[in-house]
Amino acid sequence: TGTLSDLSLDIASAHITTFGEKVIDTFYVTDLTGQKIDSPARIATIRNRLMATLEGIVPERGGKSRAAAE
């Protein structure tokens, strides 16, 4: 949720679904005013930051990235 907060997003709804051994977490997010994110550029930024977070890459100031400490 830290990355979502850094991106100025609110979780409007969260759902967890299981299919046997698989789990799917779905988060519906909005901007801080409760509006849908429509801008393709904003969506790309969100996607890139979330993927970097999942891959363990932590963005630093100045646009550089570093691997997350374990």
Tens-digit pLDDT profile for the chain (70 aa)? 788 889 999 999 999 999 999 999 999 999 999 999 999 999 999 999 999 988 887 665 444 455 544 4
What pLDDT is stored for residue 7 in this prediction?
93
In this predicted structure, what is the pLDDT of residue 49?
92
- Say if CB 11 and CB 1 are below 8 A apart: yes
State residue 61's pLDDT score. 44
Q: Tell me the CA distances in angstroms from 33 to 6, 20, 37, 38, 64, one per residue in order.
A: 15, 37, 11, 13, 29
Q: In a 10 Å sphere around its CB, with 0-12 CB exposed, 13-18 middle and 19+ buried, how is residue 62 labelled?
A: exposed
